[in-house]
Every structure is written in C-alpha cells, then in structure tokens.
Structure 1
C-alpha cells in the first residue's frame, strides 16, 4: 500500500484502494453496485411479460433494439411490493456479456469507497440471501449493502 499518497489525493476519482459504486434504494435500505458493471440507468418503460418466468423476472424491455431481461429487485429480496414512482429506475448492468435490468426504487448517487471502508460478511449467517452480498460499505453514519451481481444473477438462472 502506498502510504505517501493516502489522504493527500482526495480528489482522485479512483485508485487501487478505492472503488466507485452506484448507490440505489429499495425501501429504506441503500444498496450499491460496482460502477464498472453498470451500463446505464433508465426510467421504466413498457415491460413485456415472459410466460413461466419466476415472479421476480418482470419480463423484457426493448432498449434501442436490444432485448434486455428485467428483474424486480424488491421481489428478488422478498421485500413488499410498492407502486412505481417518478424516482423508480431500471439499472442496466453487465453480467458476462449479457445486459440485465434491475428495477430499483431510486438511484441516489455515485460514491467512492476505500478498501478499509468495506467490511466482509463472514461474521453473518449462512442465509442464502446473504450469498448475493459481498460486504457492506461504511461511509459517514451510513451502511450500504454491496451486491455481488454475478451471484444474484447466477442464482436466478439456477432457480429458473
């Protein structure tokens, strides 16, 4: 670790010890995805249902000619459903070479977290839902759940 630069270059967008995350909300909770995985953030558009899909797969959208499956993250995390609002967004992210959308209540901001600000979840339970989470980010008085999007999507594929 380069101790000389620590703290002196707060303006830097990203360094070896810092990563950027897109923060979004589901209810009162804040979650984050690695910004490198996020392709774009769009307002909800017409979603075409897919027969026999699991309940959290809302369907597919046509985004500039690309057909993208959309997952309801509230359903995926077994949270109560709510009506969409003007803040509702679909975050399009890449898993392998595929684009997948996730419906979130709102997108809050982009944050930078140092490795020291991220705590793993090894102390928590073996609950299957914890499998989607690789840690929590601590920033000021907030705790933001960091999602492992690969595991979230691969577990959805395995269930479906």
Structure 2
C-alpha cells in the first residue's frame, strides 16, 4: 500500500498534510484520508471496548467508531474543550473518527522536507511513522494512518462498527 505522504517523498512531488496536536507534539497525516473535521461531541460508549475507543457517533446515518489518540498514545488524562476535534477519516472504505487536541492547518511538504524517522523509543510505534516533516522550526511526526488504524489492535474497530 502506498501512502500519499511517502509517495510524495519518493517521487519528488509535494504532499499535503493535515497537522494536528496531541499533547505538546505536532503530528501530520495525509489530507487525502480526511473526510471532515468536527467539534468534539458526546459519543455513545460501547461495552467492553478498549479505553482508547471513546465509543461511536451517528454521522448522517453512518455509525462511526471514535478513537481518542491521546489515550491510545498514553499522553495523560485527556481534557475536552473548545479546541478538541474529531477528524473523520476515510480509510479502506471505512469511516473512523480520531479525537485530537486541536487541528493546526494543512501544509504542503516537499520531498526535501520529509526525513526518515529515527529508530528510538517513542510514544508511537515506529512501524506507524512515515518520517518527520520539517517546516521552518516546526517538526511534524508523520503518521501512516492507514497502517495504524488497520493494525491488529486498532483493527478491532471495524468489527465493532460492522
């Protein structure tokens, strides 16, 4: 599976990335995976779901599982305020919600701005990292959101939503 961010890095073309924050770090995912961005609203809890699965929402007739990335990445107790958003993703013909602290902007990264992720201890398993994007003094941790959301652990979400 070729992700648009890595394709941009390999082919010399620009990659558009949605940047968002979790705790003090800034992350990025391919904008092509984003369906919409919504304010955080109450979710319906699902019994026996992992803690990071906040529950489900009804999005115009589609039941969408919602994953709180702060809980998943063990970034402390999440607080929900006016900046908290749910990024609605369309991954592999599935719709999934991802709770983040805030959305920053959409940035365009050239191939020269995308560096390989260092192999070191990280909150995020390096299997899910595409690299690091640099924009001036900003650094974005580029997530392979397809791989992350379809991993064995998170992949249970699609079964719950079915």
1:136 aligns with 2:132: yes
1:118 aligns with 2:109: no
- Structure 2 CA distance, aligned partners of 1:91 and 1:158? 19
1:106 aligns with 2:102: yes
Q: Which has the larger radius of gyration?
A: 1
Q: 1:70 to 1:158 in 2, by over 3 A?
A: closer
SS at match of 1:80: coil
Residue in 2 that maps onto 1:33: 29
1:24 aligns with 2:35: no
TM-align CA RMSD: 2.1
- Structure 2 CA distance, aligned partners of 1:65 and 1:101? 14
Q: Deviations over 1:74-93 (max 9, x none)?
A: 01111102311100000001
- Superposition pairs of residues 57-72 of structure 1, within 5 angstroms: 57-72=53-68
Retained in 1: the 8 A contact 2:12–2:111? no
Moved segments of 4+, more than 4 Å:
none
Gaps of at least 5 residues in structure 2 are: 1-10
Retained in 1: the 8 A contact 2:35–2:88? yes
Gaps of at least 5 residues in structure 1 are: 1-14
1:66: Cα distance to partner?
1.0
The number of aligned residues is: 145
- Structure 1 CA distance, aligned partners of 2:53 and 2:18? 22
- Structure 2 CA distance, aligned partners of 1:31 and 1:126? 17
Q: Deviations over 1:72-123 (max 9, x none)?
A: 00011111023111000000011100010000000111100001100112x4
1:125: Cα distance to partner?
3.2
- Structure 1 CA distance, aligned partners of 2:58 and 2:28? 25
Q: Deviations over 1:44-77 (max 9, x none)?
A: 1220111111111111001111110000000111
